């Protein structure tokens, strides 16, 4: 884990938030490589959810919603974690985090003086308008789901989708976690990828099972070792208040073993029912074919972009002797290919390499690197996870061929420049 965190900073994936001013706990900034990885990950999710399903549409709801939304959904009253405070130094911890509590007690030479357990609401408060009073109070959203539910009726009225159908969204969420840690695993500002799939109540159990399989296979198809994944059905007594059944996809994290990566919940009709009651608007659905009127059930696959990124990065991290490389799936890799001139001070080589670079950039993300020797360039691109490196050398000037090196095998092929696009397309797709 420490090696990966160091690599992420060194190669421009992830930087500590507000580091210039001492940092801000639970926040991280994406660097040049990180934002490319994040965008690729979100694109793959969006493609699998929206582009490949003709009954799923997307929205982008506001981060700040009317406070009544959070009152109706139950977040104001129940979106809490158990909190205890050390009476000696006033440090706060989650009451269920025994490891951190035990480590803290050692700092006070075994003395234990704690407050009673309190319920701590995780939502960030804010105010709309210039006056800070209770009438203008609202919250930064802790999830994107409620933005989907309050737009459910508008989507139905403005599109041709009919039950069963889904609404997908990628957006920021904020949770004032009592304690953060383990890099991107638990943070205060994050991005979520959520789908709300509306379906007839009697069809919900099968749809739930289907989405569990689809989401599990999505990770495997993008390169995560199936041995590091498992499906965990949450016990009835541990379910969220809205859930009629939740199965989580767990990843084998190096810092804690198997734990949640993504949740796929059967939310029943809870959300539409509470918003219908609170708003006074009819959110039921009328099926024109069967003449039935019902409140749809909802199946919700939900995952944080950062947590998914962390899983893909951890699974991709490989050491082979002195060589370190990220074996990222080509679809996720920040750069698909890097182009080098063999020597940076030879104009003919540089000009030819620049031509290759410009041509490839028309269709894919390409890195340019002319620093140091070829070995150092390979080393750098391996750590970034670039699947292929192209070197323009003196033979190129004779026969218009280049060397293409494979990241995973370190083997090299000699390819004609006019066949590069086809060669790379086959390898990357």
pLDDT in tens, 43-59: 999 999 999 999 999 99
What is the fold of 335-428?
A: Rossmann fold (3.40.50)
Cα gap 415→406, rounded to integer Å: 12
Q: What percent of the chain has pLDDT over 90?
A: 81
Query: Which of 243, 204, 212, 241 is closest to 229 using CA atoms?
Result: 212
**Tokens standing for 172?**
């920021």
Let me know: does 143 contact 111? Beta carbons within 8 Å.
no
Sign, CA dihedral 61-63-64-67, equals positive
Q: Which residue has the higher pLDDT, 271 or 237?
A: 271
- How deeply is 111 buried, as exposed, middle or buried, from its count of CB atoms within 10 A (0-12, 13-18, 19+)? exposed
Let me know: does 311 contact 260? Beta carbons within 8 Å.
no
Would you place residue 149 in the very low, low, confident or very high pLDDT band (cuts 50, 70, 90)? very high
According to DSSP, the β-strands at 366-368 and 317-320 are: unpaired
Q: Is the predicted pLDDT of residue 108 greater than 90, yes or no?
A: no
CATH superfamily of 2-76+125-315: Bira Bifunctional Protein; Domain 2 (3.30.930.10)
Q: Which residue has the higher pLDDT, 99 or 219?
A: 219
**Tokens standing for 29?**
């900034």
Separation in Å, CA 359 to CA 331, 368, 388, 389, 420: 19, 12, 16, 15, 10
Cα gap 84→98, rounded to integer Å: 11
Cα gap 160→176, rounded to integer Å: 39
Q: How many CB atoms lie within 10 A of CB 113?
A: 11
Which residue's entry shows tokens 């033979």? 395
- How deeply is 224 buried, as exposed, middle or buried, from its count of CB atoms within 10 A (0-12, 13-18, 19+)? buried
Q: What angle (nearest 5°) sits at the alpha carbon of residue 299, between those of residues 298 and 305?
A: 125
Cα gap 272→282, rounded to integer Å: 9
Cα gap 149→221, rounded to integer Å: 30
Distance in angstroms between the alpha carbons of the first and the last residue of the chain? 30
Give, for 8, the enclosing helix (H) or strand (E): helix 2-10
240-258 mean pLDDT: 93
Mean pLDDT, the chain, rounded, equals: 94
**Tokens standing for 158?**
């403005």
Report pLDDT for 109.
Answer: 75
Cα gap 42→44, rounded to integer Å: 5
Domain assignments of the chain as residue spans, ordered by start: 2-76+125-315, 80-121, 335-428
Give, for 156, the enclosing helix (H) or strand (E): helix 152-158
Let me know: does 407 contact 385? Beta carbons within 8 Å.
yes
Would you place residue 89 in the very low, low, confident or very high pLDDT band (cuts 50, 70, 90)? confident
DSSP-assigned beta bridge partners for residue 190: 173
388-406 mean pLDDT: 96
Let me know: does 354 contact 340? Beta carbons within 8 Å.
no
pTM score of the predicted model: 0.92
């Amino acid at each position: 884990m420490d090696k990966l965190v160091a690599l992420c900073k060194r190669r421009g994936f992830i930087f500590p938030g507000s580091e210039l001013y001492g940092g801000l706990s639970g926040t991280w900034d994406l660097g040049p490589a990180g934002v490319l990885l994040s965008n690729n990950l979100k694109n793959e999710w969006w493609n699998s959810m929206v582009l490949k399903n003709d009954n799923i549409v997307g929205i982008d709801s506001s981060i700040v919603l009317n406070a009544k939304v959070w009152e109706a959904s139950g977040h104001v009253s129940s979106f809490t974690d158990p909190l205890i405070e050390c009476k000696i130094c006033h440090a706060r911890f989650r009451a269920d985090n025994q490891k951190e509590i035990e480590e803290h007690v050692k700092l006070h030479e075994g003395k234990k003086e704690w407050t009673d357990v309190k319920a701590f609401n995780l939502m960030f408060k804010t105010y709309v308008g210039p006056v800070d009073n209770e009438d203008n109070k609202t919250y930064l959203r802790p999830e994107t789901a409620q933005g989907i539910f309050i737009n459910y009726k508008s989507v139905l009225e403005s599109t041709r989708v009919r039950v069963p159908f889904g609404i997908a969204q990628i957006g920021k969420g904020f949770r004032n976690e009592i304690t953060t840690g383990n890099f991107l695993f638990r943070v205060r500002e994050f991005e979520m990828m959520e789908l709300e799939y509306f379906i007839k109540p009697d069809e919900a159990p099968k749809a739930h099972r289907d989405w569990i399989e689809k989401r599990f296979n999505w990770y495997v198809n993008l390169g995560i070792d199936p041995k590091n994944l498992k499906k965990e059905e949450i016990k009835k007594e541990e379910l969220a208040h809205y859930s009629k059944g939740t199965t989580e996809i767990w990843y084998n994290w190096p810092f804690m073993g198997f734990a949640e990566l993504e949740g796929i919940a059967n939310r029943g009709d809870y959300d539409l029912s509470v918003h219908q009651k609170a708003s006074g608007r009819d959110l039921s659905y009328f099926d024109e074919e069967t003449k039935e009127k019902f409140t749809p059930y909802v199946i919700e696959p939900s995952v944080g972009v950062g947590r998914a990124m962390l899983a893909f990065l951890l699974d991709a991290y490989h050491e082979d002797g002195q060589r370190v490389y990220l074996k990222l799936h080509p679809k996720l890799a920040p750069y698909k290919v890097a182009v080098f001139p063999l020597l940076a001070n030879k104009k003919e080589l540089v000009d030819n390499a620049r031509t290759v670079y410009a041509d490839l950039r028309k269709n894919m993300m390409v890195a340019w690197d002319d620093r140091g020797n070829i070995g150092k360039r390979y080393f750098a691109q391996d750590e970034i996870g670039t699947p292929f490196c192209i070197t323009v050398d003196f033979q190129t000037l004779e026969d218009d061929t280049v060397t293409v090196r494979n990241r995973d095998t370190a083997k090299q092929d000699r390819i004609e420049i006019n066949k590069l696009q086809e060669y790379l397309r086959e390898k990357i797709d």
